Every structure is written in structure tokens, then in C-alpha cells.
Amino acid sequence: MQKTNWHSLGVAECLQLTETTVNGLTSKEVEERRLRYGENRLSEGEHVSLLSLFLNQFRDFMVLVLLAATLISGLLGEYTDAITIIAIIIVNGILGFLQEVRAERSLASLKQLAAPTAHTIRDGKKVTVPAAELVPGDIVLLESGDRVPADLRLIRCQSLEIEESSLTGESLPVTKSVDPIEDPLAGVGDRRNMAYMGTMVTRGKGVGVVVATGMDTEMGLIADLIQTAEDMDTPLQRRLEQLGKVLVYVALAITAVVVITGILHGHGIYEMFLAGVSLAVAAIPEGLPAIVTIALALGVQRMIKRRAIVRKLPSVETLGCASVICSDKTGTLTQNMMTVQQVWVSGRFYDVTGSGFEPEGEFQLAGKKVDPRKRDDLRRLLEIGALCNNAELIQEKAGKSGGRWTVYGDPTEGALLVLAAKAGITPQQLAEAEQRLDELPFDSTRKMMSVITKNQAGQVRLLVKGAPDILLDRCTHILIDGKVVPMSASLRKAVMQANETMAVGALRNLAIAYRPVKDPAELKAADPERGLIFMGLVGMIDPPRPEVYQAIAKCKRAGIKTVMITGDHQVTAEAIARQIGILPPGGLVVNGAKLEAMSDKELQKKVEDIYVYARVSPEHKLRIVKALQKNGHVVAMTGDGVNDAPAIKAADIGIAMGRTGTDVAKEASALVLADDNFATIVAAIEEGRGIYDNIRKFVRYLLASNVGEILVMFLAMLAGLPLPLLPIQILWVNLVTDGLPAIALGVDPAEKNIMQKRPRNPKESIFARGVGQKILTRGILIGFVTLAVFWLTYSAEPNHLVKAQTMAFATLVMAQLIQVFDCRSVEGGIFSRNILENPWLIVAVAISALLLISVIYVEPMQPIFKTVPLNVWDWIAVMAAAAIPTFSLAARRATNRMARRSRVAYNR
């Protein structure tokens, strides 16, 4: 069926265009349309087999490098090394496979939102059919508790309210009507005469004609967006791929030079082939992916303790470079619990403390606590709010202390019950004092609800609550300090000013009124809700989470921009954003209509100045994320609804709410917040930054060590010297000595100022900010001192080559083990951090040192590794040489600091 603005058309026109009547379709028409439109199901796109998903994990560049290293290790006869590398490849492949399988389940979860059955009219009779069999033109009947089975244009409503938060993000149920909406471009949340697939009927009844099924529905549009949204490589994945390519090309070039030079200097071809292959294996740190995985996995465990569940390992690191957090409002920044914060009665503003559905809080007047039961006007207003009410406030059972409080029914009415309960007024007490006789239910035309009650004295009253502007027009009197006085122009103006004052504070206001009924017959009049006595105003809000204020301030200090994206109204969104510190002076607020009018290029230009997006659709959220990404941002997108899923998947990292989030949002995400707490995101960012720093630390350590190994061999071949290191020794250093300290660096505690820095540029190389320079300088120094020890020993004892090689072997290992402590600081050196902060590193270094000693002194291992025992003076020489790379640079750093201080003192 062609795209039609059904919400802008009248009921008769909709029935005409869908070629149906209020009596529904005939069975023959249904079959014809099913052939034309297909089943009312969401498609899953092109199916990828599990085998293909698994094999795709082994196409990565670094994996291919590791496979080559496996072959080389096998040729050398180092089967343990080869088996280790293969195990690493398989483990990484399985992890990636499981992550992709879980991510692809998002569409299956989306399908579960479709209603299993539908009540429809066919052949003039009411029947229940599988929802998948609905076709455009079917007449569907809706009742409270039903899930809407397809997109409907409503043709009849009776107090119909539908909860659409999973689709629009709006926290309150939407009151429906059948009237056409003039604006053809009205957003989904403003189409009050439409009902959409997957949403839930919370109140009343309705009848609608099916105008879209399957993938043509709004839910189908979201499914299509999820299918077509591209999965983004994380910065870590891009950096490691870049690192792998650089290492391979450099290593192969240098290895080729070493082999050719050695042959030209008279070394045997086979001998140099083995040496060259050993260098190639050493130069490519095949343990790096394993160490990265271990570091990320340990970070995941820490994050679980901080209430963040990671679904994709690399996402931990991605959070660390996030520069923008796009956050949903309802349930993420706010508590998703309507709460009364202010009451206006008898010309006075009463503030109400407490939040959520807990009936705990106090009433304050001008900052001082008051007892509402001793203030007659306030008490009577609270009683009317609780009597004119169909909700229930229930405490769930959970042990002796009781469980959490829950509202069953309309959240607004629940807020009124909680308000009364804070004053010690319960529905049970009111039911004993006043009997309900009848109800005039809320509808979108009247915008009010009334109940008729009778007290023990036989007095009948009409109690009313509704929209302030509507209710005020029906009031002829007002209650002021216990007296009913006529509603004058000045009093009316005072009510309107109070309403405006409360609205500016983002409060959603309700007016309360009543009138005594002398003759019950007058209630049968066409419009009994007239001549009312105005009681006051009740202002409520979905309050911000208490910890959000500090979390957003911390994000600002860390250079991270927080953006609110919500389906709620612009006034409410703007007020909340300003209150919690998201919206700075001069920051822009844009609604869905304005966003729709912008081109992608215009949005990309303005997106840096926009902090709040209100009344937006799923397509808008996707556009916002992509505009930020085009400007170079690393975007974290949070959300809980079906409408958030496409943007969550397209973002650099998607974050879903664990408690209130839909399965669709969770499956599309990389990170799930177990406590739905925005502050948990900040904790995750801190962990992510620390993990990335640790990855850079062990990359620096491993590569500096490898540079030293290559340089020793390279310079020896150029100088025409014998091999200073044997292939088996190089492989042993690469597999054992390098690995344990590198893993220990992966659990290094984060530095204290980590959240005082701006996010790193996602385009920066892993060698940026001095890491590349440190790798080269430390590696060159390690290579020089190792070669120097070898040459001096060999020169002194030319007939004892094995001892010279043992000395070089020991110097290389000890220089690396000392250097690992220098790698702990990103910007400082070996003395800038407490060595006891990371006991695992001390243990790892001790084990590596013991392994070195065992290779040198355990007799069965000496012939394997071609080593001989060293005496005390040999070890003194080894340790003195091994300390030079780290301590010489530390001394230079200290000298530079002193010189800077001297210049500053001189300038003063």
C-alpha cells in the first residue's frame, strides 16, 4: 500500500481508501489481500548460516598473521608455540562468533513484540485470528491489555489510552481520538488518531482499520533500520589492525636484511634461515591478541561489579574514547516514576519531598515542614485527588522489611495516591468515609475525569480533576482558606500565573475541583461538570535520578558532551536538561519538526551546538548519531525502547537499560546497565580509559622488547659477528618472558587523573602521544646494551661463544623486566608511581626471572637452550647493563625537570 498520511484523513476517507466498511472484510477479500500484501510479520533480512559467521572470524588481518606464525613455529619444531598460537586463534574466533550470534537475535526479539492474536470483524462477525493473518482493511477491536497487532487508523475511541514509550520514548500513556490531525508531517508521538504495532492498550476501548502490516508498519521500519545499520569497528580493533600491518612489513624487511647480511658474512644458509624465522616470530607479538582479550575480560569483571554488563569485549575500550553520550530521558536520566513535587492551594505553594512511588516525604511551606492534615484546604485537595482515582498503590512482598512500591494503573493517578499517602491519607480510610456512586471517565475531548461520591452524612459531591485551562473555565467559585468565594478576574489571573510558574519548572499540572450536589437528578444533565469550586493545582514530574547531576558534571570535566534525545515534549525536555546541567547557556534545543526540515549537511553543521532533541522519531536518532560520527565523534547511544535500537546499533557503542529496556534494545547494544543508572556509564568510561591505557602500556613493553631483539641480531650481522642470540632463545623470550609481565600490565590500576583529561582522538595511532618514540628509544638502548655485553664477553673469551650468548640472553631478559616498571606510567617514568600498587606485576617479574635462572642453571635445560652458568661478577655486569636503558632515561627526565624549574625561577 502506498505511503499515506493516514492521520491527516477523516474516518470516512480512510475507510474508502482501504476499501472496507465498519463491518469488516469478507473472507474472500482477506485471501486476495494476503496474496497481495503477504503475512503481517517482520522479516529478518538475509539469513547468514552459523558456519559462515564462524568462518568470518578468521578473515581478520592479525589472524592471518598468527596463522603464518603458527606455520613458521611448526617448521622450527616448536610445537608448543604453534599449539599456543592456534589456541589463541580459536578462542578469539569463538568469542567473536558468540557476540555476532547474540547481536543478530535483536530482530527475533523485535518479532516477539507483535501481538499473537487479534480481535477483528470479518463477514460482519467478531472473530479472533492470528495477528499474522491481518491484512490492510481489516477492522480491529482494541481493549485494555491488548497489544496492538498492526498499524491502525482509529475510527472509534472510548477513553482509549495507549502506552507508546517503546516506540516514541514518551513516558505517559497517550490519550487517543479519531479526529484528523492537520499537520501531515506530525511525528509518530503526535498522531493521536493512530495505533501502532507493538504498543500496549492501557485503558478504554477502540476500533481501528488496518492501514499497514508487516514491514510497512512503524515497527517494520525500525526492523529495517536495524538490518541496514552498519556495525562499527571499535577504535581498538582499528588500532590493532594498523599495528599488525606495520609490524609485519617492518619485521619482514629487517629480517630479510639480517638473513642476507648474515649469509654474505659467511654464515650458513640454514643457520640464517632459522635465525630469520625466529626473528620474524619474535617481531610479531602473537600473544598480543590474547593479552588484549585478557585485559578486556578483566575489565569486564570489574565493570560487572559496577553494575555494567558488557556484551562485546572491545566496547569496554570504546567507551574510554567516547566524546558524546546521546541519552534517552525517560528511565535513563529520570526515574520513570511520576512524582508530585508542588501543590498550589489557597494562594500558597507547598513543596513536596521524596521521589518515585515510595510514600515517604514531607510537605514544606517556604522551606518549613508543615502537617497537611492540619491545613484544611490542602487536606481536602489531597483527599479529592485520591478519591477521583482508579489506580492502586501496592507494596510488593519481599521479606520482613517489605518490598518496593508499585503503581497499577495510570502513572498520573498513581502519583496522586502517593501524594495522599505522604500525608497519611490512604484509599482504605477514604473508602470507609466516602462511597463512590458513579464515574464520568476521562476522554480527550473533555480532558477531565469526575467521580460522584456520598459521605456518611448522606452528602453527595462531584469530584473533578483535569487540565488546568479546561477546568478553570468551568469553575465559578474558588476555595480560599476554608471559604468558598466567587471566581473573580484577579483570582482567575492568580490561578493562571501559578499554573505558568509551575509549568516553567517542567511540572505537568493537574487542576482539582469539586461541587456539592443537592439534587442527584442534576447529574443526568448533558454537562454536569459546571459551576465547579476550584481547589488548587498539583504539579508532577518524572524526576531526575539523584546521581545524574554528579555524573554529568564528571562528564564535563572529562571533556564528554551529554546530549538528551527524547520523545517527550520540548518544554519538559528543555527544563529537565537545564535542571541537571546538560543544557548550557546558548545551547540549542531542537524538536522533531525542525529536525525533519534540516538536511543531513545542515544537521552536521548545527549538531555541535544542539544539546536537546525533543519529539524525535527512530530515523531522527539515527541521523543524529551519524551526524556526530561524521564530525569525528565517538558516540555512545543509550536507550531502553524499541525506537532506540537502530541508533544503538549504529553508534560506536550502544548502551541499553537492563531493568526497563526491551529485549530489542539489549540485543542491539554492546553494553547493558544492570541498574539503569546513567552514573554507571561514567564508571564504564573510567574503566574504558584505564583499559586502553593498559593496552598501550603492554604494547609499548612488548614492542620495545622486540625492537631490542631485532636490533641485536641486525647490528651483529652488519658487524660480521656470530649470532648473539640463538633461535630457541629468541622464541623462549618471546613466549615466556614477554607474556607474564605484559598480562600483569593489563591489570594495572588507572592513574588518578584519568578522568581529568579530554577524550583521545579516535583517529590517533596507538603509537601517538610519545608511545612510538618510547618504543624506539627503549628498544634501541636494550639492543645496544645487549650487543655490547655480547661483544665484550666474546672479545675477552673468543673460544667461549656459548658464554657470550648466555650473557646476551640474560642481559636482554633483565633489561626487559626492569623496563616493564617504566611502562606503568603513561606520561611519567619508573619513579612516578608506587611499585606496590600492582602486586601482580611484581609476581610476574619474579616468575620470569626465576624461569631465566632455571634455563641457565638447571642442567637438563642447558643443552636445550645452549646456556652455561654465570658467576657473581657476570651477573653484576648483566644487571648494570640491563639497568642502563631505564635509569639513563629516568635521569635525563629528572635533569630536564630541574632545568625547567631553574628557568622558571630565573624568569621570576
Which residue numbers are catalytic? 328
| In the predicted structure, residue 444 carries a pLDDT above the cut 60 | yes
CA atoms within 13 A on the CB side of 713: 34
| Cβ atoms of 360 and 419 closer than 8 Å | no
Q: Which H, E and C letters describe 719-750, residue by residue? A: CCCCCCCCHHHHHHHHHHHCHHHHHHHCCCCC
Q: What is the mean pLDDT of residues 156-171?
A: 78
Query: Grid coordinates in use for 898?
Result: 630541574
Q: Which pLDDT band holds residue 682 (cuts at 50, 70, 90)?
A: confident
Query: Grid coordinates in use for 246?
Result: 606495520
Grid cell 606520561 is found at: 827
Q: Which pLDDT band holds residue 406 (cuts at 50, 70, 90)?
A: confident
Q: Which pLDDT band holds residue 79 (cuts at 50, 70, 90)?
A: low
Q: What is the mean pLDDT of residues 256-284?
A: 73
- At 500-529, the pLDDT tens digits run 999 887 788 999 999 998 877 777 776 888
Grid cell 466498511 is found at: 21
Picking from 226-235, 469-478, 483-492, 612-621, which range would have the lowest pLDDT averaged per residue? 226-235
Q: E strands, 346-499, where?
A: 348-352, 363-365, 368-370, 392-395, 405-408, 434-440, 448-455, 460-466, 475-480, 483-486
Higher pLDDT pick, 742 / 1: 742
pLDDT the model gives residue 791: 94
Q: What is the mean pLDDT of residues 704-731?
A: 82
| In the predicted structure, residue 312 carries a pLDDT above the cut 90 | no
| In the predicted structure, residue 582 carries a pLDDT above the cut 90 | yes
| In the predicted structure, residue 685 carries a pLDDT above the cut 60 | yes
Q: What is the mean pLDDT of residues 639-652?
A: 79
pLDDT the model gives residue 12: 92
Choose from 27-36, 516-525, 893-902 the range with maximum mean pLDDT. Answer: 27-36
Q: What is the mean pLDDT of residues 767-792?
A: 89
pLDDT the model gives residue 450: 92
pLDDT the model gives residue 234: 57
Which residue, 635, 768, 762, is CA-closest to 238? 762
Query: What interhelical angle do 79-104 and 288-305 show, nearest 10?
Result: 50
Q: What is the mean pLDDT of residues 415-436?
A: 91
Q: E strands, 26-185, where?
A: 117-122, 125-130, 139-143, 151-163, 174-175
**CA-CA distance, 721 to 794, in Å (whole number)?**
9
| In the predicted structure, residue 401 carries a pLDDT above the cut 50 | no
Higher pLDDT pick, 662 / 100: 662
Backbone phi, psi, residue 148, to 5°? -65, 125
Burial class of residue 307 in the structure, from the number of CB atoms within 10 Å of its CB (0-12 exposed, 13-18 middle, 19+ buried): middle
Higher pLDDT pick, 104 / 599: 599
**CB neighbourhood size of 537 (10 A):** 25
Beta bridge partners of 129: 118
Average confidence score pLDDT of the chain: 82
Give, in order, the Cα–Cα distances in Å from 355 to each of 34, 329, 340, 371: 50, 16, 8, 19
pTM above 0.85, yes or no: no
Q: What residues have CB less than 8 Å from 79, skipping those under 6 apart? A: 73
Grid cell 527512530 is found at: 618
Residue percentage of the chain with pLDDT more than 70:
82
Backbone phi, psi, residue 186, to 5°? -55, 140
Q: What is the mean pLDDT of residues 86-112?
A: 55
| In the predicted structure, residue 84 carries a pLDDT above the cut 60 | no
Q: What is the DSSP letter of 631?
A: T
**CA-CA distance, 76 to 520, in Å (whole number)?**
102
Query: Grid coordinates in use for 644?
Result: 532506540
Backbone phi, psi, residue 598, to 5°? -85, 140
| Cβ atoms of 356 and 335 closer than 8 Å | yes
Give, in order, the Cα–Cα distances in Å from 865 to each of 328, 802, 852, 853, 862: 61, 10, 11, 12, 5
**CB neighbourhood size of 373 (10 A):** 13
- At 445-472, the pLDDT tens digits run 678 899 999 988 889 999 999 989 899 9
Backbone phi, psi, residue 899, to 5°? -65, -40
Higher pLDDT pick, 604 / 253: 604
| In the predicted structure, residue 751 carries a pLDDT above the cut 50 | yes
pLDDT the model gives residue 602: 94
Higher pLDDT pick, 86 / 325: 325
| Cβ atoms of 816 and 708 closer than 8 Å | yes
Grid cell 525506537 is found at: 643
Grid cell 569496554 is found at: 316
Picking from 156-160, 252-256, 558-562, 600-604, which range would have the lowest pLDDT averaged per residue? 252-256
| Cβ atoms of 716 and 724 closer than 8 Å | yes
pLDDT the model gives residue 907: 58
| In the predicted structure, residue 99 carries a pLDDT above the cut 50 | no
Q: What is the mean pLDDT of residues 633-654?
A: 83
Q: Which pLDDT band holds residue 114 (cuts at 50, 70, 90)?
A: very low
Higher pLDDT pick, 817 / 762: 817
- At 115-138, the pLDDT tens digits run 578 899 998 888 989 888 999 999
Picking from 120-134, 318-332, 853-867, which range would have the lowest pLDDT averaged per residue? 318-332
| In the predicted structure, residue 139 carries a pLDDT above the cut 90 | yes
3-class DSSP state of 433: helix
